[in-house]
Amino acid sequence: MHLAEILNWRSVPAAGISMGLTRRCPLHCAHCSTQSSMTSEQHPELLFKRFVASFSHESRPAILAMSGGEALLRPALVSALAKSARRCGTTSSVLSGLFFARTHDGTKIPAPIRVAIDAVDHFSASLDAFHEAEVPWPNVRRVLRTLLDDGKDLSIHLVGRDADDPYLTTRIAAVRRHFGTHIPMLVNQVASFGRARAWTPMVMTKRPARVEAQPCTMAAWPVMGFDGRIVACGNDDAMDRMPGHLVLGHASTHTWAQIRERTLESSMMRAIRLYGPDYLAARAEMHPSGCAAGCRTCMAMSGDALVEERVRASIAISMQKQSTRVLEAAAGELIRQGGALAFARRNGVARYAELALLGAT
């Protein structure tokens, strides 16, 4: 499965689920969004297995995207979930920082890890200057070469300090030199989450006099955290702060069908996908964060009962109208047509978006 196929689905509500299998990670990257360490929490395998076992032929995500922490610290779990998901037609991917290549030459991938990589349909490597301080690029390159030669579908999730970081141009050139068009790349920049919050400023935009609707396309795939909590989007603060309107359920008590239903039918989630949080807050004549701040506004909505109540009241009738359903369908279709490229432009470094399509047929 090519990266483009995953990204084509990425903005389609309930087309996939992201799952953090552990918060643990042996690396110490200065930008880690989950503030992971080897003593971070890790919950029993059963939690994840039970939830994936609730997928059925009638109700399943198209893609199960596994990550961590470092998901490959639990290779047997990755293999078991990939196998369980495939039984009803769900494809899978795993994202890794390649911790296992810190000291060896990359041609000998530990057997259980190799089994896990073979079990998924797509393997992604995280790559940035912080990872490279722990796992040298030549080792990463050799792991990728080994897997590529064995026919694995691969991608690199490349992160720079900002869009102009010279590291990005250097590393992209190196990847192209070594792998041609065989490894697509999703290029992003460090965001102010986790350990990076201490040294990356949050970008604030002054609220304009007139706030336009701006659909949130990230509120599409539910995200299951290390402890089984499930929220409506991949904003790392959502998992830490659990704002009520973004909470969908828990893997120990809910099935995929229930989470899917909540994702698709919650009035609040539909409204956030259609209009975006700033527009909703402005329409309710509330602006909790005082600026046009997208996710910050969204997070603040549940922090103030009055704000949440007024936003809910302002959408209660409009989200039930048939005309709103028609508008949602049209907006959803436009977003779907934009596909992988539009997703990479919107959510990554726009000038490198086309790298996500390298090698796509």
Binding site for ligand SF4 (CB under 6 A): 216, 218-219, 232-233, 235, 238, 246, 272, 277, 294-295, 298-299
Q: Measured between alpha carbons, how far is 110 from 107 in angstroms, rounded to an integer?
A: 10
CB of 276 to ligand SF4, least distance (A): 7
148 closest CA partner among 107, 116, 91, 93: 107
The two three-digit tokens of residue 267, written as one number = 């009035």
Q: Measured between alpha carbons, how far is 186 from 360 in angstroms, rounded to an integer?
A: 13
CB of 288 to ligand SF4, least distance (A): 12
| Nearer CB in complex with ligand SF4: 272/355 | 272
Backbone angles phi, psi at 109, to 5 degrees: -80, 130
Helix, strand, or coil here: 20? strand
| Nearer CB in complex with ligand SF4: 33/79 | 33
Backbone angles phi, psi at 126, to 5 degrees: -80, 130
60 closest CA partner among 90, 94, 80: 90
Q: Measured between alpha carbons, how far is 13 from 269 in angstroms, rounded to an integer?
A: 10
CA 163, chain centre distance (Å): 19
Q: Measured between alpha carbons, how far is 72 from 42 in angstroms, rounded to an integer?
A: 13
CB of 77 to ligand SF4, least distance (A): 27
| Nearer CB in complex with ligand SF4: 227/240 | 240
CB of 218 to ligand SF4, least distance (A): 4
Q: Measured between alpha carbons, how far is 318 from 94 in angstroms, rounded to an integer?
A: 39
Question: Are 17 and 222 a contacting pair, CB within 8 Å?
Answer: yes
| Residues in contact with 263: Cβ distance below 8 Å, sequence separation at least 6, in sequence order | 13, 14, 220, 222, 232, 248, 269
CB of 126 to ligand SF4, least distance (A): 20
Share in percent of the chain as helix, strand, coil (round to 5): 50, 10, 40
Question: Are 66 and 95 a contacting pair, CB within 8 Å?
Answer: yes
| Nearer CB in complex with ligand SF4: 67/139 | 67
Q: In what order do the strands lie in the sheet with 63-67?
A: 185-189, 154-160, 122-128, 91-96, 63-67, 16-20, 223-224, 229-231, 247-250
CB of 128 to ligand SF4, least distance (A): 22
| Nearer CB in complex with ligand SF4: 196/300 | 300
Residue whose token pair is 């691969």:
154
